[in-house]
Structure 1
Amino acid sequence: MTKSIPTPLLSHKYADYVSVAVDAALAAGEVIKHAFKQPKKVEEKLNHADLVTATDKAAEDLIFSRIRRSFPDHRFIGEESSAAAFAEGVSEVQLTDAPTWMVDPLDGTTNFVHGFPFVCTSIGLTVGGVVVVGVVYNPVLEELFVAAEGGGAYLNGERLTVSGRTQLTGALLGTEVGTARDDDTLDAMFGRVRQLVGRMRSVRCTGSCALGLCSVALGRCDAFFEINFGGCWDAAAGALMVSEAGGAVLDPAGGTWNVMARRVMAAGSGDLAEAMAAVLTKCELGSREAGPPGKGMGVSLRVAGTEDEAAVKGEREGPGEARTE
């Protein structure tokens, strides 16, 4: 594989950010790859399905230190550091307009524990609340996904393009069951899957939201959705990957996607995304599940050719409901 910045991004305005993110992801990947077949010390967070290992923590520390070395004034939101803050009573992470790195050091921890090879490091960067850089690296399969706003998405240096499928019939869906195990959430989650899969070809759950989104960007899956995942770190980089590969990224209810909403839906075309949303809006949410973005939660992806920077900023700051596409 080519472990470097894709050539078209070398002159991109965010090339420095991309370079540092790739370097950090590759370094964390070495830690994960080395530990993948070793005995692991596993701890539970919220329940027996929500796991963390010493490798998660070591990888996050390494990523943060690499990025801080180059950008000491930037902000950071990481899965493990946010979990620690939550344990100390800080219930919500706030996103500002400042450059902010969203890091999942090891997405797919359960896969990692069981030796299932769909594990990755996911690094996204927002500027002004909009995702502009994304890097997702699976060190076991040696797949390096890189995207920059307006510059395209790439796997090991090759440009990505979504499947382009427009109808539910014949589409392959990706999703995740999450870590909640209460009956209310499980009933809601399986209810959504039942309604969609009854109209689609089949479904795949591979244990990583970030890689699920990258699968849509790559065309391995035609669509992916998940509601109530851990936080922005799960979806920031992967959502940009889909958008830059020509796909559609929306909230599962059909409105614009917000990186802080803990909900995402991606598809190989706008038509397919709208068809999925038409089904999902009729499905019940569990009482503990995250609902659609509220007022003031604006656009987190800038779609090429449809909105300029001022328009996105105005919608992000302005009042009103999230618009539909």
Structure 2
Amino acid sequence: MSAPRTYPQPPVTNFTQFDEDYEDSSDYDSDEDDYSDDYESEEENRQVAVAPPPPPAPVIAPAAPLPQPVPVLQETAPPPITVTDNHATGNHSENHDMTEYSNYDAPHIVPVSPKNVKSEQNTVETLPVEAPAVASPTADAAHSVPSALMSTPYARGLQVAVALALHAGKNLKAGGEDERHIVEGLAKAFPQHRVIGKEAVGKSMVPMLTQVYPTWFVDASNGAGPLRSPMACVSIGMCLKGQPVIGIVFNPFTDELFLAADGFGAFLNGEKIRVSQSALGLAAAVIGYEFGKGKEKYKMLNAVGRIMEHGCAATRSLGSVPMNLCYVASGRMHGTYAGIVPSEGWKPWDFCAGLVIAKEAGCHVSAIRNYGNKEEYDMYCGSIICAVNASLVSEIQHCVSQ
């Protein structure tokens, strides 16, 4: 009989040693925590290492100096001009001259570029102190201020404006435009006056007239288009206490200088002009008209049609409202109108200078639609009728305002 099979016995577990090892397991956990902290620290260092550097601080340019505010002035009227006019006798009297206008405590201001214009309050800016010198008046008698106007309160204003108009006329004839030279010349001669230029204003709001500032309206290329019409002109007018008092219109193509001063007559190349006060009617009159930029062609054409249907000697369109007014003042036309519809876009610089010349030559002036029956013509109304007598103004008004 064989011996019984034996099997290997499992090792005896030392529970005492197991308990000791279990008690030492806290060291393992501590080591694990240390390892975890080291791992997180390495991750943070790795993130910091790969993070992009912070962008450099932006360079902030110093702020531009703010424009000096226009001082708020009390609305006090300027010193009055007392003028006694008698065209028949040529007797005039006045109590101060143009140089006294510099006593007004008002800054010289002109409209800024249309891009920066938001309202009437910010349509002006102060011109640079240094302005180009004003050209000396020409010695040519036809292109200088007549001696009859040299003793008036407007003599200096006329001299400066005539010199500037002649200079601008040369540029206009050569195909250029010189509004800035006129504006800066007036600014230097009359730093307390306000100057409003057509090109500077553009399509923005035209500043209103006040009782404080003597105000100039400048159009250095009125009626000048791509073809440089021979009826284009330089137009410079001045208003005092809200009313036009000086007018200069120079056509360099015909070499004609029209000028006038309120109460002292109108002149063409040094010779006084005055219209006949005959009772000429529309049927025998030569009538001028301008369409401007209006788009309501039927209303504008219907107005001309009613003039022709009524009957007149002839019609003219020169392409320039100031030249139309001067042609009526010099007897080359009997009447003219412009502004059938508001969209034609006529502004005060289209009327100011020619208005003074026409009225001083004895013409009658009205708006096409005289709302409120105002006695004084308003240059901001956008329309005008000018004729050699009051009855012709009424006839034209009746035809074109229907």
Superposition TM-score, scaled by structure 1 size: 0.74
Q: Output one character per residue of 1:133-167: Cα deviation in whole Å (capped at 9) or x when no partner.
A: 00000011100001000010000011111243531
1:1-325 matched pairs, under 5 angstroms: 2-35=142-175, 55-56=176-177, 59-83=178-202, 86=203, 90-97=204-211, 98-110=213-225, 113-165=226-278, 166-180=280-294, 182=295, 185-199=296-310, 200-227=312-339, 228-254=344-370, 255=373, 256-282=376-402
Distance 2:237 2:284 in 1: 31
Q: Is the 8 A contact 1:249 1:257 kept in 2?
A: yes
Question: How far does residue 114 in structure 1 lie from its aligned partner after superposition?
Answer: 1.2
Q: Is the 8 A contact 1:150 1:244 kept in 2?
A: yes
Amino acid across the alignment from 1:226: A
Aligned residue type for 1:133: I
What is the rounded CA distance, in whole Å, between the counterparts of 1:192 and 1:69 in structure 2? 44
- What residue is the counterpart of 1:318 in the other structure? none
CA distance in 1, matches of 2:270, 2:287: 26
Q: Which amino acid aligns with 1:125?
A: M
| Root-mean-square deviation over aligned CA pairs | 1.5
| Structure 2 unaligned residues grouped into runs of 5+ | 1-140
Identify unmatched segments of 5+ residues in structure 1: 36-54, 283-325
Contact 1:77/1:103 (8 A) holds in 2: yes
- Once the two structures are TM-superposed, the CA of residue 209 in structure 1 deviates from its matched residue by 0.6
Deviates more, 1:169-178 or 1:189-198: 189-198
**Structure 1 runs, 4 residues or longer, greater than 3 Å off:** none
The C-alpha deviation readout for 1:173-223, integer Å capped at 9, x for no partner, is: 01112123x3xx111111111112222122101111100000000010000
Instruction: Please identify the structure whose Cα radius of gyration is greater.
Output: 2
- Give the letter aligned to residue 131 of structure 1: P
1:260 is paired with a residue of what secondary structure? helix
Distance (whole Å) between structure 1 residues aligned to residue 228 and residue 349 of structure 2: 22
Give, in whole Å, the separation in 2 of the partners of 1:229 and 1:159. 32
1:95: Cα distance to partner? 1.9
Q: C-alpha separation between the residues in 2 aligned to 1:132 and 1:253? A: 24
Q: Deviations over 1:98-150 (max 9, x none)?
A: 1000111101122xx21431110000000011000000000111000010000
Identical-residue share of aligned pairs (%): 33
Deviation of the 1:235 alpha carbon: 0.9
Secondary structure of 2:170 counterpart: helix
Tell whether the 8 Å contact from 1:6 to 1:146 is kept in structure 2 after alignment: no
Does the aligned pair in 2 maintain the 1:163–1:218 contact within 8 Å? no
What is the identity, as a one-letter code, of the residue corresponding to 2:251?
Answer: N
TM superposition shift of 1:91: 3.4
The 2-side partners of 1:163 and 1:105 are apart by: 31
- The DSSP-based 3-state class of the residue aligned with 1:145 is strand
2:399 partner amino acid: V
| Pairs aligned (count) | 251
User: How big is the shift at 1:34?
Assistant: 2.5
Once the two structures are superposed, residues 216-258 of structure 1 have per-residue CA deviations (whole angstroms, 9 ceiling, x without a partner) of 0001000011003431001111111110001101112354421
| Cross-structure match for 2:27 | none
Q: Which one-letter code corresponds to 2:386 in the other structure? A: A
- Give 1:31 deviation, angstroms: 1.1
TM-score (norm 2): 0.60
Give the Cα–Cα distance (whole angstroms) in 2 for the partners of residues 21 and 248 of structure 1: 25
